[in-house]
Amino acid sequence: QVQLVESGGGLVQAGGSLRISCAASGRTFSGYAMGWFRQAPGKEREFVAAISWSGGTTYYADSVKGRFTISRDNAKNTVYLQMNGLKPEDTAVYYCAASEGNTATVRRSPRYWGQGTQVTVSS
C-alpha cells in the first residue's frame, strides 16, 4: 500500500502563488506515476496534472497549463505542485494521487489518494 499526505494549502490572493506537496510512504514508490486532482464546491473532481515515475513526462489540464508545474523528488518521496497566477476558479480541495503505470493511468484511474488540502484564492 501507498500512503499519501498533502500539505501546503491555504489562502492566497488572485495572481499569487502557492506550492503544495505530497509526501508518499509505503511499500512501493518507484514505478508509480503521480498526479493532482481538485474538487471545487458543487463540482466533480477533475484532473489537474500528472508526472511519470522518472519525471520525464508531464501532462496538464488545459485550465492550468502554463500556470502550474508538477515535479517530483524521488529521493524525498515527494511530489509538488507549483501554482502561479492563481485565479478564484482555482479554489478547490486538491488531492494527490498515485498509480502503477504511466501518466495516462493516473489520469484515468488512480489507485491511491491523499486526504486533500484546501486551496482558496480570493479576488
pLDDT tens digits along 24-82: 988 765 688 999 999 999 999 999 999 998 899 999 999 999 999 999 998 898 999 99
Q: CA 121, CA 85: separation in Å to the nearest integer?
A: 10
Q: If you search the block for the grid coordinates 480570493, which residue do you land on?
A: 122
| pLDDT of 28 | 62
Cβ neighbours around 73 below 10 Å, total: 11
Q: What are the tens digits of pLDDT across the range 94-121?
A: 999 999 889 999 999 999 999 999 999 9
Q: CA 95, CA 115: separation in Å to the nearest integer?
A: 7
Q: Is 112 helix (H, G, I), strand (E, B) or coil?
A: strand
pLDDT at 19 over 70: yes
Q: CA 89, CA 68: separation in Å to the nearest integer?
A: 14
| pLDDT of 20 | 98
Q: Is 30 helix (H, G, I), strand (E, B) or coil?
A: coil
